[in-house]
Amino acid sequence: MTNDIILTGDRPTGQLHIGHFVGALQRRVEMQNSGKYKSFIMIADAQALTDNADNPGKVRDNVLQVALDNLAVGIDPDKSTYFIQSTIPELTELTFFYSNLVTLARLQRNPTVKSEIQNNREKFGASVPVGFLTYPISQAADITAFNATVVPVGEDQLPVIEQTQEIVQKFNNTYGETLVMPRGVLAENENARRLPGIDGNAKMGKSLGNVINLGDSADVIATRIKTMYTDPTHLRVEDPGHTENNPVFTYLSVFAKPEHFAAFLPEYANYAELATHYERGGLGDVKVKKFLNEVMQETLRPIRERRETLARDPGEVMEILRQGSIKAREVAAETMARVKKAMKLDYFG
Ligand code: ATP
Ligand code: MG
């Protein structure tokens, strides 16, 4: 048993997708099952409101959906603590104190925030909510409240983790050694760290609508794959194709295992052989997409089935969240007491 603590979470802005699965969820499950970590799984409802303030119903509904997705992939409530962010007022309190340690210019330079503002330009226009701009501060509160040492994330979140590290350093330098320094952990497979969207966008994102969800039906998966972006210069079967920036191939490189080739496309032993043929020319997109569909159906079927079973009893899922939130709050309250002491705010003992 190491002393490592994991804090990780998702925004309840939609169901979780295959980018989450390979970019973050699989790692969470592996780490949980290794028995070497204590894990906290946060449903970041307060953070979801920073760009959905006008849509509380959406956030509320997706709390259950995101919990179902985590449960379905194997995050076990007996081994990991699930909680809802907004039920822990200490997180808001920490955010307020940490915001004195961060400059406006630093937030405006944060590459994650910058690109998310860009993605949200239709919604925000020139008016970015303060809460959205400052969500990296609240993320620092989430991570440090649980003394997390390890934060499994997709690549898009690394700059936010860096900002947390700066806050921790600044806090400890100013008020004395109090907060634990965390580090971000990425998926091993490079292509899984930022899975592209089915439209070819560099990132599959809930708010971008370019997703295959973990809970999608077999029909929806098949339709999404049929309409997927692929190499636009690969017009005829004989043409040489590009596998780079071609999400069909990126997904295959992440999801297709030798047993999938053996079962559905035995003329190729592995991904490398298939990719070489496509690049040489003579391999059509329809055939490749048909194979990708088989692979995704095999991968997602057991997750969807577990999800459907769990979804029959939403009360049970909410009870997991309720109990976890009580446990998580105790930990956050301990950190809060240490923070207040360090900041000389412990007036009444
Ligand atoms: P939103 O568009 O609302 O921000 P999202 O799809 O980015 O949704 P989050 O809830 O913000 O999902 O992210 C949850 C976790 O999944 C984070 O660690 C994030 O880095 C990771 N993640 C999100 N999208 C991808 C992706 N396409 N590839 C790999 N990891 C991802
Ligand atoms: Mg996101």
Q: How does pLDDT run across 31-50, given as a tens digit for each residue?
A: 999 999 999 999 999 999 99
Pocket test for ligand 1, best of 206, 208, 251 (most atoms within 8 A of CB): 206
pTM of the model: 0.95
pLDDT digits (tens, 9 = 90+) for 84-98: 999 999 999 999 999
pLDDT at 2 over 80: no
Mean pLDDT of 240-248: 97
Which atom of ligand 1 lies at the shortest distance from residue 14's CA?
A: 3
Give the pLDDT band (50/70/90) at residue 263.
Answer: very high
Please report how the helices 271-280 and 247-255 are oriented relative to each other, as an axis angle in degrees rounded to 10.
Answer: 160
> Does 329 sit in the ligand 1 pocket, CB within 6 Å?
no
Which atom of ligand 1 lies at the shortest distance from residue 17's CA?
A: 6
User: Of the bound ligands, which one is closest to the alpha carbon of residue 20?
Assistant: 1
pLDDT at 79 over 90: yes
Residue 349's pLDDT is 77
User: Of the bound ligands, which one is closest to the alpha carbon of residue 44?
Assistant: 1
> Does 212 sit in the ligand 1 pocket, CB within 6 Å?
no
pLDDT at 315 over 70: yes
Q: In sequence order, what are the beta bridge partners of 9?
A: 42
Burial string for 256-276 (b: 16+ CB within 10 Å, else e) reads beeebbeebbeebeebeebbe
Cα end-to-end span (Å), the chain? 34
Mean pLDDT of 204-213: 92
Taking the CA atoms of residue 302, residue 303, residue 305 and residue 309 in that order, the dihedral angle to the nearest 10 degrees is 140
> Does 120 sit in the ligand 1 pocket, CB within 6 Å?
no
Q: Which residue has the higher pLDDT, 3 or 4?
A: 4
> Does 27 sit in the ligand 1 pocket, CB within 6 Å?
no
Contact 294, 260 (CB under 8 A): yes
Residue 207's pLDDT is 80
> Does 136 sit in the ligand 1 pocket, CB within 6 Å?
no
> Does 195 sit in the ligand 1 pocket, CB within 6 Å?
yes
Taking the CA atoms of residue 193, residue 145, residue 118 and residue 189 in that order, the dihedral angle to the nearest 10 degrees is 0
Question: Considering Cα of 178, then 331, then 85, then 34, what sign does the dihedral take?
Answer: positive
Ligand 1 centroid – CA 236 distance (Å): 35
How far apart (Å, rounded) are the C-alpha atoms in residues 38 and 327? 13
Mean pLDDT of 174-196: 95
pLDDT at 1 over 60: no
